[in-house]
Structure formats: structure tokens, C-alpha cells
A and B are shown apart, each in its own frame.
Chain A
Amino acid sequence: VTSEAKWALTGEGLRRLLERLGSGPEESGPAYERLRLRLTDYFDWRGVSGPEAAADETLDRVARRLSEGEEVRQLRSYAYGVARHVLQERLREQAREEQAAESVRPSPGGRSAEEQERRLDCLVGCLAELTGEERELAIAYYRTSGPSPVQDRRGLAGRLGLSAGALRTRAHRLRHRLEGCLHACLQGREGR
């Protein structure tokens, strides 16, 4: 399959996939991104190198099947089934490549003191942009120094009137925002 033919196939399939994910672009776009994020994490949790590419391949295959007229009742379960196939293939490929290359996992490059300081400056700015309650949540949930983290979390959930699960969900969203803020801040500084 050439890349052009693949794209043509995926374009039609993508439209059908988006239709299945939501009733309009405002709904289907974010739903697509959320599904892609879950799939990316799934492949990452399972040890696939290049989890984003594996998630894209899964969505591409799902879209193609839809465009071919395959009947899909539960889209998310179907996507999971496809993801499992992609996972097996990727892990087999990885095993072959690692055996051939005897590859050693590259260690991440360390940051210079200047880079690290820039990151911390950005993060301090990002924390300052939060509301008071959000900042309290970030501080109590993500502080790594001080008293026992478990006690902090229980105390915080009690103060905010949240269950442990709801607290995790809010912390997850807050962390995503802070990551986005850090990324934007670092890019802004590089652009200067």
C-alpha cells in the first residue's frame, strides 16, 4: 500500500471514525484525542517503544475497517481489540530488533544547570497562574518533601470533600495543564 493510497483510505475512514465518536466536531475532536491518549498510554504501559505511533496505527486500522463497511457495535471495545493485535506485532518486532542489534536502552541526556533553572522558573510561573484551590491541590498532591504523601492526600481529599478517586482525577487534569504550561513557557523562551 503506498502512502497516498493509505492516506486516501484513512481520510474516508477517519471521517467515519469521528462520526462514531461524537455528533459534531466539538464533540468528536476531543473524543478522538482522548482515545488516542489512552491508547498511547496503553502501549507505553506495555513497553512498546514509540507508543504514539502504535496508537496512530491502531486508530488508522479502526478507521480503515469502518471505511470498508465493517460492522462495529462497541467502538471502544473494538479499538481495544485492534490495539491488542498491534501490541503483539510491535512486541514481536521489538524483540527481533533488540536481538539483532543487542540494543541498549539509551539513557536520557542530563540537563544543564541553566536548562534546569529555566524549567523551574517556568514551573513557578505556571503554579502562580493557578487559582488558590488548584494551587493548594498541586502543592499537597505533588510536593515531594515534607510529611508522608499518603497522609497529605487523605487530608486534602477530606478538606475538598472529594473521594480518593475524584482527587486523583483532578490531580491528573491539573498535571496535564501544568505540563502544557511548562511546554509553552519553554517554547516561548526559546523563541525569544
Chain B
Amino acid sequence: VSDLLGPLDGEARRALFRGYFLAALDEERTARLEEEVLGEHALYEEMDGCADELIRDYLAGALAAEERGRFERHFLASPRRRERVAFLRDLGQAIDRVAPLPVPARSRRAVYLALAAALLLAALLAFLRLRPAAVPQRARQPVRAPSAGAPSGLPAPERLRTTPLPAADIQEVALAGGSAAGPTPVAIAGHVSALRLRVPFAGPASPSYAVVVRDAAGTVRWRSDDVAPASATALEVVVPSAALSEGDYELVAEGEALRGPEGPRVPPTRARFRVIRQP
């Protein structure tokens, strides 16, 4: 028996096992690995535990896009493995019942800070309403977006619906769905605290969505794992403007049914946008 696994450390073995389950190994390495694993039960157990890790990462939405695609094409091709995914999903739900996830201290602190910020903002707005003359005229004007391909600053109201809401300073943005469309320009004025991004679904609606906003380098700038649809055709998320500097972004929303093994195969909803900061 060739010794493929022996010289490898834990991480390298894990990578090899995952490659096997995702059909990413060449035939020679596949056959060598199978021979070793079939000959030694302890290796089989380790490899099978790695399949559990992969399933758990999939269910937790922690797989990269390419891995997720391979998982859905290859791993979920077997009814036996789909059954296993369903079992681990149920086990995850049972675990949440017996050991509810504690709210981390950092999150609690974030909630307190958000409350404090909201109170301060409310007090400030009340003060400004009492002294309307003190509000700079520019801050009360609707923000206009440049059209695609046009120099920054030119208006394109058909692409970008902006309604300054003094009570919350949330800017409404309608994004065009689909990766084929060019990025929707989004001009953000200095006083805007958050964007409400509205995007039409690709495919049928799902009960909930995992939504991620990534920058051009692929870094996650914002995410939320349990977003209910705003209507039968569209999704809305509120993203803090502080999370978005100038540049290009992609919003990806994956429906719950897509993440589970038994749901209909619907493509994730994607929308691209370009942030332009305004004073």
C-alpha cells in the first residue's frame, strides 16, 4: 500500500480528504487514498469525520463559493449523503434547543453602543428641528447618483432612488439583480448612516436568506444570516454606511432552500453596486 497519508500533518490530511469529497483530486491520488482508507479503519474514521466537518461548514454557510458549488454538484449527488446532511442539519437544530447560543459579550456591548448612538441621534435631531436654520442646506437635498459610465456627479434618478429620511438618515437604494448588469452607482452623502438596499430575487422566494456584501477584493464587509424577504419579489437589507468606503461591491443572497440539501436548486441572488462618497 502506498503511503500517501503518513507524511502529512493534520491540516494537509484535512485538505486531502476535502479534495476527495469534492471530487477535486486526480484519479491517481483518489485511488491511492481509497486503498489506504479501505485498508485501515482508523483512517476511514478520520476521513469520515472530515466529511462531517465539510457538511457542517456547508450548513453554516462557511464554504467558499467554489467549494460550495462542488459540494452541491458532487457531494449531494448521493441520496445517502443527502440523508446525512439532513441528519446533521437536524442535529444542529436539536443542539440549538438544548444549548441556546449565548449572546457574546461583544454583541451585548454592540447593542448598548447602538442604543446609546440612537439616543444621541434622536436628541440631536430634536435639537436640529428646534433650530432649522442651523441645518446646512446641502444635507437636506436628495442625494443624486451618477449614471453608469458617466463622470461622477451626474444625476441618474432612474437607477437610484434616494429619499433622505431625517428621522433615521437611511438612504433607499434599488439595485438591479444579476451579475450581468453593470454596477448600480450609489452616491452616499456624509450624513447618511445606513443604506436600505432593495434587490429583486433570482428564482422563487425563500423563507430566509443569508446575505453577504463583499468588496472588489472579496472581503466580506457586511453579512446577515437570517433575512426574511421584504415582499414576494424582493429582498431588503439595511447596511451601515460606515461599512462601505468608495469602491465596487457585490451583494449575494442565498436562499435557505439552496443551502439545504432538499430544496429546489435556485441560483443565488446577486447585485453589484459602486459606492461614491459625497461630502
Contacts and interface: CB of A to CB of B under 8 A. Distances in A.
Interface of A: 34-35, 37-39, 41-42, 44-45, 47, 49, 51, 74, 76-77, 79-80, 83-84, 105-108, 110, 116, 119-120, 123-124, 126-128, 135, 138-139, 141-146, 148-150, 153, 163-165, 167-173, 175, 178-179, 182
Interface of B: 1, 10-11, 13-14, 20-21, 31, 34-35, 37-42, 44-50, 52-53, 56-57, 59-60, 62, 77-83, 86-99, 101, 225, 261-262
B118 to A, nearest CB: 26
B92 A143 contact: yes
Give 4 nearest A-B pairs by CB, closest first: A168-B49, A144-B92, A123-B94, A164-B10
A165 to B, nearest CB: 5
Nearest to B225: A145
A146 B101 contact: yes
A45 B13 CA distance: 17
Given A44-B80, A120-B94, A123-B94, A144 B56 contact: yes
A120 B53 contact: no
29 contacts: A35-B41, A38-B41, A45-B21, A47-B77, A74-B39, A77-B1, A77-B35, A84-B31, A105-B77, A108-B261, A123-B93, A138-B91, A138-B95, A139-B98, A142-B56, A142-B91, A143-B96, A145-B92, A145-B225, A149-B53, A149-B56, A168-B45, A168-B47, A168-B48, A168-B52, A169-B42, A169-B46, A172-B48, A172-B49
Contact of B62 (A38, A80, A150, A170): A150
Contact of A108 (B13, B56, B262): B262
Contact of B93 (A35, A120, A182): A120
Contacts of B81: 44
B97 A124 contact: yes
Q: Name, among A49, A144, A145, the residue most crowded by chain B CB atoms within 10 Å (CB to CB).
A: A144
A141 B56 contact: yes
A105 B62 CA distance: 27
A124 B96 CA distance: 10
B62 A168 contact: no
A145 B60 contact: yes
A139 B94 CA distance: 10
A84 B27 CA distance: 13
A172 B45 contact: yes
Given A120-B94, A163-B10, 9 more contacts: A37-B44, A45-B21, A47-B78, A80-B35, A80-B39, A146-B101, A149-B53, A149-B57, A171-B53
Contact of A182 (B13, B53, B87): B87
Nearest to A173: B45
A115 B37 CA distance: 36
A192 B111 CA distance: 48
